[in-house]
Structure 1
């Protein structure tokens, strides 16, 4: 589940950091972007000439407001995974339920950092998931205005029912759209599922500074991208804000980004291109044994400082060729960090009409190589590193080939 890191990530030493220009934190929500954006633009391209679907065409009337509640991992050892998130990534445990041990029906720990809430769970419910997929994201839970209405809307749009609404006065329900990832629905103001008890807060480790979960990367089977996007549009009024076809060598993939009105649930949905050779997405689908979450993107306000602290705890990031940084000044004018800092930390940089995006990807230490984290900083940028995608997948491909050579299956 976790990832591990580069030891050569710099701290504040080295060339002085230029003064930052004033910048916007976060980004415009998908709905705001769709409202002000033409049918096609640099942020919202078409794929093979297909116009971008506009949110207004599919948004249901009186749809329930949906926001992110928490993300739950099913794991083999909840205590170990929680300690890993605490020690390496700076999360702190704030609530628990159940007891550890192989005979426990359920043992879960809830962790928090900034606006990000994660739950790690083991037990009977998690066992079958872990056997099939390994440790991974099993639930992306949402707050909604009306649980029964949101559940009915999801099922009408094609979702699989997982749990019917129950539990008044604070009802809950769950549905699934892709793979074995559930979506629990909770009323606003209910932070966690029933049964959690608060614990004495850990002393802050100060290892990282994540303020929000920026987006999820979702891998689906070839041919399922359009239907998955349409579900979120029809059920909950998500906007489609970005489409792209990505080619790396003989492999290729299609991706589309959709998000909710609040901007805190953003899904980058990716499918392999049937007409290209097999690649990373095909490998994920094979090793994960179906669709699922490939990575979570954690947003920070100071990516160099965050990487410095993560590296000190053994969090490794993917390598990026030096040639990327040799060409960077010709593509982007960076004022926030020096080129030596970016090169040494292997930070990718992209730019749109509102500012810059800085991002890195942790090296997966998942036994199946089916999960990792992205760490990013938005200095006004609203897009998703389109110009970096090829560099990312080239780096991932190098890791995949190297790993296969060292540990043949």
Structure 2
């Protein structure tokens, strides 16, 4: 079984058109295709979005019984399907079942005018499934069971995502929160069933909070999951909050790689995307922690872009605020400059910088009062 990469992800959302408006107008995706009852999609409306090598499907249920409707009622808007590109979907499905995977949908073939797609599904984590996707022929024909390409997206002389920004290049990783006590079992399942390897493990402790993290990755290095578990013996933190609001395991954030994070953040910010703030004092000792940074520090400070490093080099990253009512799923923009994993220094550095900022503000107040 050869898992080549992430073929696409599918969001289950309350309103596909509203979600598409945000991703297209604010994040720069192009609308590539659509489908519904008129194209053979029973009880649902789906929109296909793309930007560079990223493909996203937004699906809303049109009846209360549809799986998308039930998912949204339980979890809110979120990623329900992580589709994996494989050479042989039927063979991969059979092999995964032999290794202990739980079946969801057996292999199904969809044939279009210029392509054929074979899909099958198995359980992943929580209520998220993995769809195995095998493509033959014209890869621009998405053919996810009734999603028809828009006329402009199907012309041979145009790229599939011709209306998109191309500020974002590909899906870098997905961060997954699992309930306490389930991290080891989840890591073991991806290692033994899916053939992933462990590339990074750490325990993070900040201000009385603690969480464990393990990163698993496919042999192709094109599918990366950051698995997070809270330590319930410590003070509740953001992982606990996600599991409570999301009602169980799920994707906390979607990491999207960019080749120019400064331009991407400036552009998305001008369209209304809100990013998590960073204290200015974070940058006072930045190069002491990570070494010289090949980017204007004043721009990084203005935008709130974080910098970290691993043994391979540096990475620049920033998180958006959640655009969902439950404050669950959010996005991460990441630019890799040699780094292959994820530095943990940002979490500790941010906390310490915030403490210095608060201490300085308190000292200033006392001076004024004196």
Whether the TM-score (by the shorter chain) exceeds 0.5 is yes
1:188 alignment partner in structure 2: 135
**Contact 2:31-2:163 within 8 A present in 1 as well:** no
Structure 1 residue aligned with 2:298, among 317, 340, 343?
Answer: 340
CA distance in 1, matches of 2:352, 2:248: 23
Instruction: Render the CA deviation track for 1:182-212: whole Å, top value 9, x for unaligned.
Output: 1111213464412121104489666561011
- TM-score computed with the length of structure 1 as normaliser: 0.76
Structure 1 365/391 Cα, relative in aligned 2: closer, same or farther at 3 Å? farther
1:177 maps to which residue?
124
Equivalent residue runs for 1:95-174 within 5 Å: 95-98=33-36, 105-123=43-61, 124-167=66-109, 170-174=117-121
Q: Deviations over 1:12-50 (max 9, x none)?
A: xxxxxxxxxxxxxxxxxxxxxxxxxxxxxxxxxxxxxxx
Q: 5+ unaligned residues in a row in structure 1: which ranges?
A: 1-62, 397-409
Contact 1:214 1:297 in 2 (8 A): yes
CA distance in 2, matches of 1:276, 1:208: 42
Which SS does the other structure have where 2:186 is aligned?
helix
Could you say what secondary structure the match of 1:389 adopts? Answer: helix
Asked whether the 8 Å contact 1:157–1:231 carries over to 2, the reply is: no
Higher RCO (Cα < 8 Å, 6 or more apart):
1
Deviation sequence 1:119-140 (CA, Å, 0-9, x none): 1001123100000011100000
Residues 344-369 of structure 1: per-residue CA shift (max 9 Å, x gap): 11111012332210000001131111
CA–CA distance in structure 2, aligned partners of residues 280 and 157 of structure 1: 33
SS of 1:385's partner is: coil
SS at structure 2 position matched to 1:315: coil
Structure 1 CA distance for aligned equivalents of residues 349 and 253 of structure 2: 17
- 1:79 is aligned to 2:17: yes
Q: Which moved more, 1:190-199 or 1:301-310?
A: 190-199
Deviation of the 1:240 alpha carbon: 0.6
Distance 2:49 2:261 in 1: 21
Match of 1:232 among 181, 190, 198: 190
Deviation at 1:113, TM superposition (A): 0.6
Superposition deviation, residue 158 in structure 1: 3.6
Q: Distance in 2 between matches of 1:345 and 1:205?
A: 26
Q: How many residue pairs are counted as aligned between the two chains?
A: 332
Write 1 or 2 for the structure with the bigger share of strand: 2
1:383 aligns with 2:341: yes
Question: 1:5-16, aligned counterparts within 5 Å?
Answer: none
The offset of 1:265, in angstroms, is: 0.8
Match of 2:26 in 1: 88
How far the C-alpha of 1:99 sits from its partner, in A, is 5.7
Gap regions ≥5 residues in structure 2 = 111-115, 154-160, 355-370
Cα distance in 1 for partners of 2:28, 2:152 equals 13
TM-score, length basis structure 2:
0.83
2: CA distance, partners of 1:173 / 1:261: 20
Give the Cα separation in 1 of the matches to 2:51 and 2:184: 34
Q: CA RMSD in A?
A: 2.4
